Structure 1
Amino acid sequence: MSLICPLCHQPLLQQSNSFRCDAGHQFDQAKEGYVNLLPVQYKGSREPGDSVEMLQARRAFLDAGHYQPLRQSVAGLLAQQLGSHSSQVLDIGCGEGYYTAAMAEALPQAQLFGLDVAKAAIRMAAKRYRKVKFCVASSQRLPFADAALDGVVRIYAPCSEDELARVIKPGGIVLTVTPGPHHLRQFKALIYREVQLHAAEEKAYAGFKLADRQNLHYNMKLSGADAVSLLQMTPFAWRAREEVWQNLAASSEFSCDADFTLTLWRRD
């Protein structure tokens, strides 16, 4: 186990249904199987992260299979890189666990961890996916020991780059998923006067080398209900007029592009 105490940074050892460090800090495991490693002084708000409504919309959309190609691509890339040996892999900002579960299936010898700041998300994930160890924690203060992880996955999730460099072993990998230029451009056309394509992410991680970059682009045919769920789980939801919501809900089919960039970085 590579978990560390979020208060004193000493190793956490599991004792029955609790995690304890030598300093005496204790974190109880919830009945769903997850552990909350987000001290109140680091929460930032009463209920940080996505709301229950956003999480339910995302689960409904993902369960319909529209992002299954992305799920398979992420799991396949991890299997190529880490599938031949036992490893520890973290999914940062794992939400309700849709992608994390696929990673666990693709890496049967690995220990998969899922981390999110939203307690409601982790509760949903832990109830459905028992093969993964889920925790509530901040991506800015990862509760993992130095050089403990073989891989980290970030699907749209923010994270401290210093923390990434700290927790990943030499030779370990970071796999990021970011929007491709045409991602959800049809939604933009409903909301903005001028549709601007997503700019390519220009990022370099100190201590890492770019190992691979792939684009995944396909068209989705969505029902009105699925289109509403997708809009609700995007930042566009805050800008959409009531007319947009109503028209989407009433539509029999909404055609929309999915466009993702998958980038693989390797620790020096």
Structure 2
Amino acid sequence: MLICPICQLPLDAADQGLACANRHRFDRARQGYFNLLPVQHKKSRDPGDNQAMVEARRRFLEAGHYAPLADRLAELSSLRTPGRWLDVGCGEGYYTDRIATARPGSEGYALDISREAIKRACRRTAHVTWLVASMARIPLAEASMAQLISVFSPFDWSEALRLLPSGGGVLRLGPTRNHLIELRQRLYDEVRDYDDTKHLTLIPNGMRLGHSETLEFELNLEDPQDRADLLAMTPHGWRANAERRKAVIDSPLKVRAAVRFDWIERH
């Protein structure tokens, strides 16, 4: 299923790595992932989330704060199209691991542009093929995936059309206008409204919305480390000024998680 990110020919096992007919070779890292992000496709030396951001997200998620999101995501994935699946922008693998557990025996793939994230993701399960790769140049064959999963992540619809056969689909988890609203009110003088349906206007011809639902619940973040980690794993960690970030970390916070799940299927 894997293809060369340089010439797009199929990749086959070769010694401790992968190689294509044009002799482009990619070694398997000792942690277990394949780095399929050639240097010419990078916009910086180490693209994606850095080590501090990855560790903040890992601590926050493993504390269970977003467990209801992960549980419902895994359930929805298991109810949808069977077959190969890909978690696009998987981060450190928290949601990927839940999906793999809910889909025993399935063939799962997960990619992120951050090598730091994938290095940690590999520790979660050996039953997923972990990749450092670009979301805009996914190194998988045409029509090879039954399901693509996107969690709080940018998404390339042209790649979805290429990777999905008829009947396949995208399972998307994204924020609604109320997501972390209390945090945003503490950080900014003016909180911008968010259009919950804006992403639907980007759905290309050949795909259609098949199902939508929302999930909302309250988090009571009494531990300063939890509040610091939430800031570090969101864009608010660098958008807001230092004084307001410190004020958030220094006092308890009750905040809403409010998300939307969409199943967008290929005709």
TM-score tier (shorter): over 0.9
- Tell me which residue corresponds to 1:139: 135
1:64-119 per-residue CA deviation (whole Å, 9 max, x = no partner) reads: 0011011011100011113xx5x110000000000000110011121111100011
Q: Which runs of 5+ in 2 are unaligned?
A: none
The answer to whether the 8 Å contact 1:221/1:255 transfers is yes
State the AA in 2 paired with 1:161: W
1:144-192 per-residue CA deviation (whole Å, 9 max, x = no partner) reads: 1010000000112223211110011211010111111100011111121
Superposed, 1:74-113 pairs within 5 Å as 74-82=73-81, 85=82, 87-113=83-109
- Tell me which residue corresponds to 2:207: 208
State the AA in 1 paired with 2:227: A
Once residues 178 and 253 of structure 2 are traced to their aligned partners in structure 1, the CA distance between those partners, rounded to angstroms, is: 16
TM, length-normalised to structure 1: 0.95
State the AA in 2 paired with 1:239: R
The answer to whether the 8 Å contact 1:92/1:154 transfers is yes
The secondary structure found in structure 2 opposite 1:147 is coil
- Tell me which residue corresponds to 1:221: 220
1:208-245 per-residue CA deviation (whole Å, 9 max, x = no partner) reads: 11110010111111122111100111111113233333
The answer to whether the 8 Å contact 1:177/1:262 transfers is yes
Please, which of 177, 181, 184 is the counterpart of residue 177 of structure 2? 181
The secondary structure found in structure 2 opposite 1:205 is coil
Superposed, 1:146-157 pairs within 5 Å as 146-157=142-153
Identity %: 37
- Tell me which residue corresponds to 2:234: 234
Q: Which runs of 4+ in 1 moved over 3 A?
A: none
TM, length-normalised to structure 2: 0.95
**Which stretch of the first structure deviates more once superposed, 13-22 or 99-108?**
13-22
1:31-72 per-residue CA deviation (whole Å, 9 max, x = no partner) reads: 111000000000111111011100000000000001101101
The answer to whether the 8 Å contact 2:26/2:36 transfers is yes
Structure 1 residue 200, shift from structure 2 partner: 1.3
Superposition RMSD in Å: 1.2
Give the number of aligned pairs. Answer: 263
- Tell me which residue corresponds to 2:263: 264
Once residues 175 and 127 of structure 1 are traced to their aligned partners in structure 2, the CA distance between those partners, rounded to angstroms, is: 24
- Tell me which residue corresponds to 2:9: 10
Once residues 32 and 206 of structure 1 are traced to their aligned partners in structure 2, the CA distance between those partners, rounded to angstroms, is: 40
The answer to whether the 8 Å contact 1:185/1:197 transfers is no
Q: Which runs of 5+ in 1 are unaligned?
A: none
Once residues 156 and 58 of structure 2 are traced to their aligned partners in structure 1, the CA distance between those partners, rounded to angstroms, is: 26
**Which stretch of the first structure deviates more once superposed, 26-35 or 190-199?**
190-199
Once residues 250 and 156 of structure 2 are traced to their aligned partners in structure 1, the CA distance between those partners, rounded to angstroms, is: 42
Structure 1 residue 254, shift from structure 2 partner: 1.2
